[in-house]
Structure 1
Amino acid sequence: MDFSFYIARRYLFSKKSHNAINVISMVSVCGVVIATIALVCSLSVYNGFTELAASLFSEFDPQLKITARAGKAFDPTTPAIRQIRDLPEIAVFSEVVQDNALIRFGERQIVATVKGVSDNYNQLTRIDSTLIDGTFMLREDVVDYATVGVGVAYSLGARAAFATPLELYAPKRNKTVNLANPSTSFNQEYAQVGAVFRIDQPIYDENYVIVPLPLARDLFTYEKEVTSIELRLQDGTNIQKVQNEIASILGPDFRVEDQYQQQAASFKMVKVEKWITYLILSFILIIALFNIVGSLSMLMIEKKSDVRTLRNMGADNQLISRIFLFEGWMISAFGALIGIVIGMIVCILQRQWGILKLGQTTGDFIIDAYPVNVQFFDIFMVFVTVCVMGFLAAWYPVHYLGKKWFRYEN
């Protein structure tokens, strides 16, 4: 064992002659512990919210989505697309036509996003688990059905199984508006409300209407084109690997996005908030580490006689400085370890039993308690942050004040 580390360990755990130094040392450790617990719990809560958002979006978003970089639509019958369809990792290949349209129901009307999907759409996503009214279907005999978001249904006053159909209007592509008779410049389609879904994400609940793919093509004047291709992979498949393979097949003219990239703005906002919180709590940690300066300063004053003894035994300034540097570093390191352990225990208890609630009444929010998700990288970052800041806090009294206090007197 290194001699300076051995002496520092004895100083840390031995009883000091002045009780005030013991108290300050304990306060230093407790301050580091509390700040570390706050860092671990805060970062884990943000991870929990990211995980929650990902689970909600995964009920509607595909695992991979292919779109064109230039233009709105593309031909899904090209050799490259057919090659992707035949990949063994692809479980569900679904064509999509999506655009904005005017939706009318009785006397009410709104502009919504109409998403035309293939017949296998219910195999692509977990749309059935999001339904709050009706049954998901696209077509029955000669009747087309629409599955609408709960916000769209509320705005239109529509429910599943109503006899009155939705009226969908979209301008005809590549045609000028006939000012004498503007109605001839629009395509018109009809669809019965078959179901209402709720994902608790306004971007979908308040804007989306899911209809059969042929209806969407007729509405937006497409023949065989699609605006996107949505994919579900075989269970256990490496999504990143397949994403890279598809991107290499299609080339630079197409985007291949996973679920996080499809909702990049939402996840980026949570990530920015997470690291801003990390910086704020790091500043609080710096304030807590000022106790180390006071603790080491008083300890160095108390151990002047020990310093003389060490000098008489041949110790130089570097060894003595290293003793007190180790002392300060161990205060922060032990505080970090204790804080991380307690923080992880708190997160486990919160994940299992939901001790800290989001609201006083059950059902006020999507979930009743704060979600948590402990990640190894965050724990590592917290430990490194505490240790580095603790070392810097110990460096000042040792290198500036120690020059005077360790001066050998003949």
Structure 2
Amino acid sequence: MRFPLYIAQRYLKSKSGNNIINLVTILACLGVMAGTTALFIVLSVFSGIKDYSLSILDVDTPDIRISPAKGKTFLVDNLFIEKLQNTPDSIFYTKVLEERAFFKNKDKEEIAHIKGVDSLFNKVTPLDSLVMAGEWFAAKSTNACIVEYHLTRKLNLSVYTDLLQVYVPKAGKGYISNPNNAFTTIKPQVVGVISNQSQEEKKYVYVPLGLSQKLLTKANNEVSYIDIAIKNKKDGDNTIEYLKKNFPDYKISKREEINGSFYKILNSEKLIAYLVSLLVVVMVLSNTSGTIIMVIVDKKNDIKTLLNMGAPLKSVRRIFATYGFLLNILGMFVGLIIGVIIVHTQLHYDLIMMTPSIAYPIAFEWENIWVVCVTIILLGALASLLASGRISERFVKRR
């Protein structure tokens, strides 16, 4: 292996007597460098977009959720609370009651979700940090609501001024003789507006838990789900295992499972971007194959000399395969350095902006470096082997 490596290094370092070969070799190396830089930047950009999207989503998504395996609600008794309080790594838990409802303000109407929350809700999902007008209702409030911004605009609501009319069909079966008795209704005062970017399609109105239980005619210990905040955000396996063991009849969901479709979309987008960039890299490496073939033709006399000296054909092929491999490694190394510099420059100096106040998201991850290295090395090795395989006894004997 030392012999092919030694000759390949000599070919790479020394200039050819043919200037066209020198130019093509430089262009091939620059192509690999540009492809590597582009692939790394694309992966870094999508990592940044993923982190940015998740940072928005994380505000209103708990670490763990306990929900009923069947039906919409369940009863929380003393034994349930006792088990919940003994959950390892748990910091806070909050009880939530959620249902679709009809909302009205004067001549404006909209269907959205009403969510009843207790006093610990903002400890688990800190939506109070997104209040853009007014304030979050106090723990002792009994007739107040927080409205999501997009719903506020549609219903033309004003903070501290309007009473929001909320209607929910009464539970039961059979014919209703009087339509006026078909709904239960409440009229909470709008005390705050939140800007919740991750829930534009699923609009929410937040009210005290007791008020939602009254509206939905539920017991005071009946909820839709329980959200839990844990200390170790990255590894909640012990907590999940405890909850599944102690609450076998309930659905236990991690953050990724609560918003599973969103995570799948993000991962799919990054995969598509990788495949598109991979196509560019393949085109670049095909040029590298062409360069190796041109070098083989240029070094035909050297090949004849090596074969006449007793070098096996396999070793000669290895020389040019190694030559192509080294060419790709050199381009990859320089391309990665340039890519890392560009990524860190964007991270520290915000060169490209999405809005006047928000820089275009980008993230430096070692995983992206490994993906780029493995991609370039594998495809580069394949391209080099295919090109060096053109060397044959028939080729050498040809004039």
TM range (shorter): over 0.9
Letter in 2 for 1:309: T
Q: Is the 8 A contact 2:158 2:190 kept in 1?
A: yes
How far is the alpha carbon of 1:266 from its aligned partner? 2.0
Q: Which residue of 2 aligns with 1:335?
A: 331
Between the aligned partners of 1:220 and 1:272, the Cα distance in structure 2 is 39
Letter in 2 for 1:174: G
Instruction: Kindly indicate whether residue 383 of structure 2 is the aligned counterpart of residue 385 of structure 1.
Output: no
Aligned with 1:203 (options 192, 200, 204):
200
How far is the alpha carbon of 1:407 from its aligned partner? 5.0
Q: Is the 8 A contact 1:136 1:147 kept in 2?
A: yes
Structure 1 residues 12, 78: CA separation in 2 closer, same or farther (over 3 Å shift)? farther
TM-score by length of 1: 0.91
Between the aligned partners of 2:338 and 2:353, the Cα distance in structure 1 is 20
How far is the alpha carbon of 1:237 from its aligned partner? 7.3
Instruction: Kindly indicate whether residue 272 of structure 2 is the aligned counterpart of residue 276 of structure 1.
Output: yes
Size of the alignment, in residue pairs? 398
Q: Which residue of 1 aligns with 2:243?
A: 246
Unaligned runs of 5+ in 2: none
**Within 5 Å, which residues of 2 pair with 1:362-401?**
362=356, 367=358, 369-401=359-391
Between the aligned partners of 2:384 and 2:254, the Cα distance in structure 1 is 46
SS in 2 for 1:10: helix
Structure 1 residues 78, 16: CA separation in 2 closer, same or farther (over 3 Å shift)? farther
Structure 1 residues 402, 389: CA separation in 2 closer, same or farther (over 3 Å shift)? farther
SS in 2 for 1:216: helix
Unaligned runs of 5+ in 1: none
Between the aligned partners of 1:236 and 1:172, the Cα distance in structure 2 is 40
Instruction: Kindly indicate whether residue 301 of structure 2 is the aligned counterpart of residue 326 of structure 1.
Output: no
Deviations 1:166-204 (A, max 9, x none): 1211112234451x2122121112211111000223437
Structure 1 residues 213, 299: CA separation in 2 closer, same or farther (over 3 Å shift)? same
Letter in 2 for 1:173: A
Q: Is the 8 A contact 2:87 2:243 kept in 1?
A: no
Letter in 1 for 2:350: G
SS in 2 for 1:43: helix
Q: Which residue of 2 aligns with 1:190?
A: 187
**Within 5 Å, which residues of 2 pair with 1:174-323?**
174-178=172-176, 180-203=177-200, 207-223=203-219, 224-234=221-231, 238-251=235-248, 253-323=249-319
Deviations 1:289-346 (A, max 9, x none): 1221221112112222322332243310111111111111112222222212211111
Letter in 1 for 2:114: V
Aligned with 2:395 (options 386, 397, 405):
405
Q: CA RMSD for the aligned pairs?
A: 2.2
Structure 1 residues 320, 269: CA separation in 2 closer, same or farther (over 3 Å shift)? same
Between the aligned partners of 1:305 and 1:78, the Cα distance in structure 2 is 89
Letter in 1 for 2:30: C
Q: Which residue of 2 aligns with 1:354?
A: 350
TM-score by length of 2: 0.93
Q: Which residue of 2 aligns with 1:173?
A: 171
Q: Is the 8 A contact 1:24 1:294 kept in 2?
A: no
Between the aligned partners of 1:403 and 1:177, the Cα distance in structure 2 is 93
SS in 2 for 1:67: strand
Q: Which residue of 1 aligns with 2:128?
A: 128
How far is the alpha carbon of 1:76 from its aligned partner? 2.2
Q: Is the 8 A contact 1:24 1:291 kept in 2?
A: no
Between the aligned partners of 1:139 and 1:166, the Cα distance in structure 2 is 20
Letter in 2 for 1:225: E
Structure 1 residues 245, 203: CA separation in 2 closer, same or farther (over 3 Å shift)? farther
Between the aligned partners of 1:107 and 1:266, the Cα distance in structure 2 is 35
Structure 1 residues 247, 337: CA separation in 2 closer, same or farther (over 3 Å shift)? farther
Structure 1 residues 336, 249: CA separation in 2 closer, same or farther (over 3 Å shift)? farther
Between the aligned partners of 1:291 and 1:57, the Cα distance in structure 2 is 43
Between the aligned partners of 2:296 and 2:217, the Cα distance in structure 1 is 83
Letter in 2 for 1:149: E
Deviations 1:252-277 (A, max 9, x none): x4332232322222221122121111
144-153 or 387-396: bigger deviation: 387-396
Between the aligned partners of 2:26 and 2:234, the Cα distance in structure 1 is 51
Q: Is the 8 A contact 2:44 2:364 kept in 1?
A: yes
Between the aligned partners of 2:70 and 2:114, the Cα distance in structure 1 is 21
Between the aligned partners of 1:301 and 1:185, the Cα distance in structure 2 is 88
Structure 1 residues 235, 382: CA separation in 2 closer, same or farther (over 3 Å shift)? closer
Between the aligned partners of 2:225 and 2:157, the Cα distance in structure 1 is 28
Report the identity percentage: 27
Q: Is the 8 A contact 1:114 1:210 kept in 2?
A: yes
Between the aligned partners of 2:324 and 2:346, the Cα distance in structure 1 is 33
